[in-house]
Structure 1
């Protein structure tokens, strides 16, 4: 079924002059922590993957951080999660960043698919597809150029993005009787573009209010095609820390197109904080703080079986932070049908 849908998508693309990538590209949403919270990350202050969720959130970082996120966006099983290691292909790197409270640099693969299909035996045609789109992000915040994080309840953030992609289709025409190749051709298109995101975070006591506008101006120019305009995505979020160990986060977001629904997301995180006076390497690792998360997301009020449920765990020390987040439909989640992300963050001083 999945391959059939992919094939229909590409048939509609390849037999027309339309731009060779969907406007709502199925990019991976980075951050295992936020995935475990139902993807409610617009007001999660601070966060190291903020360049995607809301660039203003970087303004709260206490240290610089290097983060790598690995993802499996197809339905996985518990055995796959345990037995397979993250890699460039099957469990691809879905986000990489080096950031500080002043801003930083991020790499985010937006779209990647490679597919072969011998779909028409009567014509003896075989097609290979490859479609890829990446974005590279430079982020600045209110504190850019400042030597310290001065006291202000309002922080702004901007993303300046460069997008680069490639679309390749090769066709082999074979004799239906002998399967010998009679002819071959190929279509290749390269894409380059730019984009702009903006975000705001407003902090009042234990409450944070965030607003994010992604792809305010995002255009991609494909060779042989017209300019592609990516629709704007907006998100409003709230996060609350009623006590130091508990965090509640909710989001409402929507892609600005007439046929798109609002999405509602929410999650809860509990962290058990531990500390020690022993500064040895072993003590630092063993006395980290574990976190436990759960979340939900939906686009309208539906039966429980159609809701997206999320869960996650994390472990934070002074030397590293590791998070695992999983999400899936309720009826599939209990049987191991989910998508997951694994994040590793290494803080450092500059």
Structure 2
């Protein structure tokens, strides 16, 4: 069991990593960094080990069972009739030992050029012991967040596909606990829904080169509230642009280079937070107080290199960069992958740029099953 102060510290570190601090609190660390803040930021964290090892890049990678998280359009080109994957990550184990992030996703072809998927993202924040104003223990609570998603991808031609997804989101970070006896606000779980859209282009440039280009917008949905007050917070609506270039060295060896650029399509900290979701999306391209130069700072870059030997063994390395004024997350990543007949196993390891970082030694594991 953990004291509330320790858990809150862990939560702050967590949400710094996940693009935004927890918005239930009246004061956030994002306000000091001028970072763009949202609710449910776990929706932007790479859940699978393959992309995690590539610096959290994945929107234009070759399709697999984790495609719905990155870009539903990739479902139009999935390689198998049926695919399932399960990913798990012990979270912030340098601080607490009962946080975890889990993701399960599966798809089924409905035709030669289309597929339907179902996925679940589940985030367990561990047990919290609440205390009152006099620092007396009141009750225990186990915060959880999850989303259930369906997605569909359709190939329009030999090279181009489109996709759409929809999800239900539930964020229960304080239950119905009244965290302050002096406040008239009652806490409650937040519920909302969102959609994803994406486009994916893939073709062979010649006998040795393959090019993938992709764009996707995820989490376009209603605002979410954690109290009975009128205040509501934006979801992490996220624009992803990416490319992946695969070079087949010979019949057994290949290299893939991939790069993603991400931008949250929500208002900057200095902008009007009461505007609608659609208005916030369009205004997010020009509402930064520092002008165009600050807008560029809101773009996160991620990229990596993936090596495959005979489609049996892979080695991966990547890097993620976020501007210091917008959160400052910067880290290397690495990982390995194995394939044997219908089964796959991937692992990823995060290496932060600085010592004493709570994200140090973060591991992700993915197991997969593919059937023709």
Q: TM-score, normalised by structure 2?
A: 0.69
3-state SS, counterpart of residue 134 of structure 1? strand
Superposition pairs for residues 1-350 of structure 1, below 5 Å? 3=7, 5=9, 13=25, 23=39, 25-27=41-43, 28-63=45-80, 64-76=82-94, 90=98, 92=100, 94-101=102-109, 102-109=115-122, 112-118=125-131, 120=133, 122=134, 124=136, 126=138, 128-142=140-154, 151-166=157-172, 167-168=174-175, 170=177, 189-205=188-204, 206-220=210-224, 224-226=228-230, 227-243=232-248, 245-256=254-265, 257-259=267-269, 261-273=298-310, 289-300=312-323, 307-332=330-355, 337-349=360-372
List gaps (5 residues or longer) in structure 1.
16-20, 81-88, 144-149, 174-185, 275-288
The superposition leaves residues 187-224 of structure 1 with CA deviations (integer Å, 9 ceiling, x where unpaired) of 55233321101111112321101101011234446672
Aligned residues of 1:42 and 1:54 also touching (Cα < 8 A): yes
Aligned residues of 2:213 and 2:242 also touching (Cα < 8 A): yes
The superposition leaves residues 126-185 of structure 1 with CA deviations (integer Å, 9 ceiling, x where unpaired) of 464543221110101115xxxxxx842111111111123433254799xxxxxxxxxxxx
Q: Quote the offset at 1:57 in angstroms.
A: 1.6
Aligned residues of 2:188 and 2:228 also touching (Cα < 8 A): yes
Aligned partner of 1:180 in structure 2 is: none
Q: TM-score, normalised by structure 1?
A: 0.73
Across the aligned residues of Structure 1 and Structure 2, the Cα RMSD in angstroms comes to 3.7
**Structure 2: distance between partners of 1:67 and 1:188:** 35
The superposition leaves residues 297-321 of structure 1 with CA deviations (integer Å, 9 ceiling, x where unpaired) of 112389xx97300000010122200
Aligned residues of 1:131 and 1:168 also touching (Cα < 8 A): yes
Q: Quote the offset at 1:252 in angstroms.
A: 0.6
Question: Which has the larger Rg?
Answer: 1
Structure 1 residues 301, 164: closer, same or farther in 2, change over 3 A? closer
Aligned length in residues: 299
More strand by share: 1
The superposition leaves residues 1-43 of structure 1 with CA deviations (integer Å, 9 ceiling, x where unpaired) of 864536888897389xxxxx95252344211011000111010
